[in-house]
Amino acid sequence: MVSNALSVSDIKTVMTDTIRVPPNCSFEVDDYEGDWVYRRPFDFIHARELEGCIADEDALFRRALEHLAPGGYFEIQGVYAQLASDDDTASKATNAQAWIKTLCDALAKFGKPVDTATNWERRLKDAGFVDVHQAVHKIPIGAWPKDPKLKEIGKFQAVQELQVIDSYTPGVFSRVLGWNNDEIEVFIAKVKSDLKNPSIHLYLPVYFFFFFLNISGWSTAEMSSRRRRFVVFSALAYLASAIPLTGAEQDERATLPNANHIFNAVHSAMRQWGSSLNHNGMSFFLATVPKGTQFYHGTASSEPVNGTEWLAFEPEHALGFARPRGRGPPGRGGRQGPPPDRHVPQLPLEIVADENDTPKAGYLHTYATAKDLRLLYIDGMSAGKSSIGTLDSQDRILYNDSVDSSEREARLRRGPRGPGGPPGERDRAIQGCNMAKEIWNDRIDGILRMEAGFEIILCNFERDLDVVRITQAKGFEERAHGKSRPKSSRPHGPGMKAKARGMGHNNWIKAIAARYHSIGGHRVIVDYDHFVTAYAYALDLFPGGASLPRLKHLPTEELEPLRQDLTEMVMEYDPPRHSFDWQSTADMIVTRYSDELQILAAGNFTTIESLREELENILAPFIDYSDYNASNAITERCASQFIPHGAPKDTLASQAVRSVSQKICSTLTSAMLDTTLDLKSAINSFQDLIDYLSWSTWKECRGCAYDELCVVPMWPMGTVEDYEHPRCKDPNEQQGPQGKSYWGGHFGRPPPPDHEYDEL
């Protein structure tokens, strides 16, 4: 019944914009509720998700029957407007349930009801259809199902539902029900909160109705066989529509998309150097800190900390905060605080003493973990309070655009006994720990981040830490002047202040530089088997060809799958004490080829033959000289050199490491065996490979003196020149202005430290 010419009637032509239409296929846009004046009957009529769009369903069904060819198929799919669950958690979604009921009432009032799918079987029979078949499928909203396919479907259905809320609600609620925009926006936010709650296991009943117009002579067995096949086809057609193809399904290239960035995320995890260069982290890892690990906290009080606060990995880092509290922001009789929208750095590079202050001191707390800590590690310079992308992953994905950096909002959220930190930081700490308790059921103890030094936002000091000791630090006046001076000898007069840039700054910089290549001491165990990274999604992370990834320009709906996967990771995986260490494998690859590739890319070869001789020396262990030109075999042997036999194959880290190794070895092999390549083309291939890999080792300094450090920007310090060309420096050079701040605006300048939130 299908002719060579295929005519398709649709309510829109979106398909013609996204796929190549065969020459024998044409689309016609028509109103399905008007008169059907087609010259020929249809072999297949399919309608889906027309809830709230049909005024006269009976007329639609009659017309469909009248225009169906003998032997043809008719199918209609519809979502029944009901948010259900099998474990009674749907009752917790009070706002979402109120939304769906209000929507149903409004559309019924509008004359196009949305909750009629349960009546379609009867109406189809009333229209003249016989032998109507019905199937009902539960489509989950969110990643809560245990079945892998349903989990995947649920993730994308959640994205679709959030879009439905945004598209249906404003017009219907305002024009039909008379709600104002403010009421609608508040209500939408509450409804979305319900749909994103992983403890609420909602699903939508989706109804499938199908009918065959029998051809005389078909047996009952033939009809039954066709029905069974069509049931499977119709269900898969709906489910597939909710699941966009992944990059791997769209393009089965050997190289994993963004494999280089994923590789670098694994290689730089918990390393100050690589994380400083790749400062706009895009990944979330589970991490474990073993019981008994020591941490440090600087504060004005000698009393043990209760509640939520910051912990430093290095005592030199915390010592900068071991000082007396200042007089606080306006309203407490003290000096003026910073502008409300200013992200105040937590790193005290400068002390300002009022002329009437007497020498005072703070305290350095040393704690040991009372148990293994389970942490969420956000990679990159994720504690850097900058506007260039360091906060993108946590603010846009983890906190879902809800962080308010204003002083007023942060103070309201914090309450009388909240944690310290600048306004936005307080909000992040409070929200993060609220999520850990209320959404993740205390499966996370804190959040691990990095600035100029690694730190932990720990949610419950008294539960998770044992006090080792609390010691009084050197008085800040003594730090300012090298010794305590009598009040009469201090600078005085209007506006006079005593400044000190020392405060152990040199030791602090050296302490964090010691963690350039490892946090050390097995203090953190990162789970590389399960992590969530924006690089694994089809997102435009480098808008306009930017050199560093950003998330700020992306619609929130595009980030929802990451949020779903992040919650799934936290809720479902218990990081083992010893997951497969893909970072060590990445280390071996980088160590082996970092210098070698630079030599090849430098192009100091006079002929293509001399280059190929060098390549043969590199690849000799992988060449079977009885079959010298077996390029695929050489590449595979080379690529698998550092990957242990039996290593996992299906994890993201595994795929990225294998993909990068494969790309390196295939480039080497091709340049050695491809006789069509000239010297310039071969050299260019290595330069392109270096650009692609972008390893942090290629920016490391060579040969610093014993009293120098290789300096790279670490928030809030550093210049543009430091990032583009790191070089050996005296650590004390970091204290004063040395050029244009890398972090932009005031973010590179240390603030006055005498605000109540200056503690770590």
Could you say which of 572, 601, 621 is where a domain stops? 572
**251-281 residue pLDDT tens:** 333 568 999 999 999 999 999 999 999 999 9
Q: What span, in angstroms and rounded, lies between the C-alpha atoms of 77 and 74?
A: 10
Q: Which residues, at least 6 apart from 244, have a Cβ–Cβ distance to it below 8 Å? A: 156, 538
Query: How high is the pLDDT of residue 736?
Result: 53
Mean pLDDT, rounded, for 310-315 = 96
Residues present in the chain in total: 760
- CA geometry: angle 356, 358, 362, nearest 5 deg: 130
Q: Mean pLDDT highest for which of 165-174, 206-215, 221-230, 490-499?
A: 165-174
Q: What span, in angstroms and rounded, lies between the C-alpha atoms of 435 and 472?
A: 35
> Based on the domain organization, do 100 and 167 belong to the same domain?
yes
Q: What three-state secondary structure class fits 703?
A: coil
718 inside domain: no
> Based on the domain organization, do 174 and 84 belong to the same domain?
yes
739 inside domain: no
Q: What three-state secondary structure class fits 465?
A: strand
- CATH code of residue 86: 3.40.50.150
467 vs 233, more confident: 467
Query: How high is the pLDDT of residue 452?
Result: 94
Grade residue 65 by pLDDT with cuts at 50, 70 and 90: confident
720 inside domain: no
Grade residue 196 by pLDDT with cuts at 50, 70 and 90: confident
488 inside domain: no
Could you say which of 572, 592, 621 is where a domain stops? 572
387 inside domain: yes
> Based on the domain organization, do 133 and 268 belong to the same domain?
no
Could you say which of 178, 211, 244 is where a domain stops? 211
Is the pLDDT at 24 greater than 60, yes or no? yes
Structural domains counted in the chain: 3
Is the pLDDT at 464 greater than 90, yes or no? yes
158 inside domain: yes
> Based on the domain organization, do 371 and 432 belong to the same domain?
yes
The one-letter amino acid at 524: V
To the nearest 10 degrees (0 to 180), the angle between helices 259-268 and 582-602 is 120
> Based on the domain organization, do 317 and 437 belong to the same domain?
yes
> Based on the domain organization, do 147 and 87 belong to the same domain?
yes
Query: How high is the pLDDT of residue 726?
Result: 95
> Based on the domain organization, do 387 and 456 belong to the same domain?
yes
Query: How high is the pLDDT of residue 432?
Result: 96
Q: Give the structural domain span for 632.
A: 582-699
What DSSP state is assigned to residue 709?
Answer: E
Mean pLDDT, rounded, for 663-672 = 97
| Contact call for residues 464 and 485 (beta carbons, < 8 A) | no
Provide the b/e sequence for 71-109 (b: ≥16 CB within 10 Å).
ebbbbbbbbbbbbebeeeebebbebbbebbebbbbbbee
> Based on the domain organization, do 57 and 182 belong to the same domain?
yes
Place of tokens 């295939």: 666
Q: How many CB atoms lie within 10 A of CB 613?
A: 12
Token pair listed for 709: 């450090």
Q: What span, in angstroms and rounded, lies between the C-alpha atoms of 26 and 28?
A: 7
Query: How high is the pLDDT of residue 562?
Result: 94
490 inside domain: no
Is the pLDDT at 730 greater than 90, yes or no? no
Query: How high is the pLDDT of residue 82?
Result: 81
> Based on the domain organization, do 204 and 286 belong to the same domain?
no
> Based on the domain organization, do 602 and 517 belong to the same domain?
no
Considering only 16-25, 94-103, 312-321, which range has the smallest mean pLDDT?
Answer: 16-25
> Based on the domain organization, do 621 and 687 belong to the same domain?
yes
| Contact call for residues 686 and 597 (beta carbons, < 8 A) | yes
Q: Which residues, at least 6 apart from 464, have a Cβ–Cβ distance to it below 8 Å? A: 369, 370, 371, 373, 445, 446, 458
Is the pLDDT at 645 greater than 60, yes or no? yes
pTM: 0.68
- The closest of 552, 485, 532 to 284, measured between CA atoms, is 532
Mean pLDDT, rounded, for 36-42 = 79
> Based on the domain organization, do 557 and 657 belong to the same domain?
no
628 vs 500, more confident: 628
Mean pLDDT of the chain, nearest integer: 80
Query: How high is the pLDDT of residue 10?
Result: 53
Query: How high is the pLDDT of residue 418?
Result: 53
Query: How high is the pLDDT of residue 346?
Result: 36
Token pair listed for 46: 């399919």
Residue 669: φ, ψ to 5°? -65, -40
Q: What span, in angstroms and rounded, lies between the C-alpha atoms of 172 and 188?
A: 13
Query: How high is the pLDDT of residue 504?
Result: 59
737 inside domain: no
Considering only 17-21, 202-206, 381-385, 396-400, which range has the smallest mean pLDDT?
Answer: 17-21
Q: Mean pLDDT highest for which of 158-162, 438-442, 657-661?
A: 657-661
**384-440 residue pLDDT tens:** 999 999 999 999 999 999 987 554 454 554 454 456 556 688 899 999 999 999 999
Query: How high is the pLDDT of residue 505?
Result: 67
Query: How high is the pLDDT of residue 400?
Result: 93
Token pair listed for 262: 């994923």
Grade residue 441 by pLDDT with cuts at 50, 70 and 90: very high
Considering only 132-141, 152-161, 228-237, 711-720, which range has the smallest mean pLDDT?
Answer: 228-237
